[in-house]
């Protein structure tokens, strides 16, 4: 399998250096690695130059700068530069064990898939508040290998897609999501709606450190709100199937009801444990995000 690894990066040179080191050690090496730097100051260039200067690279390493601050455009640039039959996407702050790419490739062939998604294991430091450890806030649901990933669990960070399937989309990643996020779920939902078989591979795990800036209730609430907005935007755009006035009304009513119920449960759980109260607050924030999408307001997380 001819595989290109695509990395969109923004001011994480140390994390990028570690990730490129991981890719050099893969059991199944990619044919090329594409690094698209979304920083006009070219903060990733020194990392790429250092890796190239070491010599004897087992793959082609390409570097490009995307001056427009837009994660969707950056990812589109990586797709345009990639020449592989398969494109693997991994975030610039993740770490890939030696079997990562091989495991994705084997699953793609075994299940005749158009795309393979794998888990991302959060690495929360021991110094983080105890309620964060108890709440498991950074974990995502996992599945049995080979299962079709349902629409509400489609996410990037660890995914490999068939290039011919990916390039049926124009644009591949929608620039309208460039500062808000959600461009990944939008793409995968479009592919699934078009009949692409997107399967899960539970063995192809990567890890991701939870940065100090993300170890707070404020960050969790904002991320949950954005997640709710993403879901509602995709739903209203018909990414999960036709959406008529009746379904719009049900989505609105359900979000309002669930937001109020989650807020009440947060109050009731506060004496029992802060992690439980925080859990329900994130649910309330997610439903607030759904409601805000109806009003046309979008949290610009990447602005």
* Model confidence at 302: pLDDT above 90: no
Total length of the chain:
303
pLDDT of residue 152: 82
pLDDT of residue 159: 98
- Per-domain boundaries in the chain: 3-211, 216-294
Q: In CATH, which of 3.90.550.10, 3.30.565.10, 3.30.420.40, 3.40.50.800 is domain 3-211?
A: 3.90.550.10
- Contact, 138 vs 279, CB < 8 A? no
pLDDT of residue 76: 97
Per-residue pLDDT of 71-112, as tens digits, reads 999 999 999 999 999 999 999 999 999 999 999 999 999 999
Per-residue pLDDT of 241-290, as tens digits, reads 888 999 999 999 999 999 999 999 999 999 999 999 999 999 999 999 99
Give φ, ψ of 265 to 5 degrees. Answer: -65, -35
pLDDT of residue 303: 80
Cis peptide before 171 (omega within 30 of 0): yes
DSSP classification of residue 139: -
Can you tell me the distance from the alpha carbon of 243 to that of 237, in angstroms, rounded to the nearest whole number?
8
Look up the pTM and report it. Answer: 0.93
Per-residue pLDDT of 289-298, as tens digits, reads 999 999 988 8
Over residues 48-61, the mean pLDDT reads: 95
Ranking 29-33, 58-62, 152-156 by mean pLDDT, the lowest is 152-156
* Model confidence at 55: pLDDT above 90: no
Can you tell me the distance from the alpha carbon of 139 to that of 123, in angstroms, rounded to the nearest whole number?
10
């Amino acid at each position: 399998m001819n595989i290109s690894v695509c990395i969109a990066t923004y001011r994480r040179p140390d994390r990028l250096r570690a990730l490129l080191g991981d890719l050099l050690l893969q059991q199944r090496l990619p044919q090329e690695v594409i690094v698209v730097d979304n920083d006009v100051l070219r903060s990733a260039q020194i990392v790429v130059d250092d890796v190239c200067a070491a010599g004897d690279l087992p793959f082609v390493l390409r570097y490009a700068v995307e001056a427009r601050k837009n994660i969707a455009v950056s990812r589109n640039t990586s797709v345009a530069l990639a020449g592989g039959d398969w494109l693997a996407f991994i975030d610039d702050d993740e770490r890939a064990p030696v079997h990562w790419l091989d495991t994705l490739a084997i699953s793609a062939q075994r299940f005749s898939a158009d795309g393979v998604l794998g888990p991302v294991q959060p690495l929360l430091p021991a110094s983080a508040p105890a309620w964060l450890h108890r709440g498991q806030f950074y974990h995502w649901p996992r599945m049995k290998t080979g299962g079709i990933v349902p629409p509400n669990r489609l996410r990037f960070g660890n995914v490999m897609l068939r290039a011919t399937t990916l390039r049926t989309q124009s644009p591949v990643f929608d620039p309208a999501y460039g500062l808000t996020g959600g461009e990944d779920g939008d793409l995968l939902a479009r592919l699934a709606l078009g009949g692409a078989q997107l399967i899960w591979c539970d063995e192809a795990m990567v890890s991701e450190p939870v940065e100090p800036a993300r170890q707070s209730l404020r960050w969790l609430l904002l991320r949950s709100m954005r997640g709710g907005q993403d879901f509602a935007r995709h739903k209203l755009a018909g990414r999960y199937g036709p959406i008529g006035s009746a379904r719009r009304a049900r989505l609105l009513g359900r979000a309002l009801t669930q937001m109020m119920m989650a807020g009440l449960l947060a109050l009731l759980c506060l004496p029992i444990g802060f992690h439980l109260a925080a859990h329900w607050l994130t649910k309330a924030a997610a439903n607030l995000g759904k409601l805000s999408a109806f009003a046309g307001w979008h949290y610009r997380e990447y602005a």
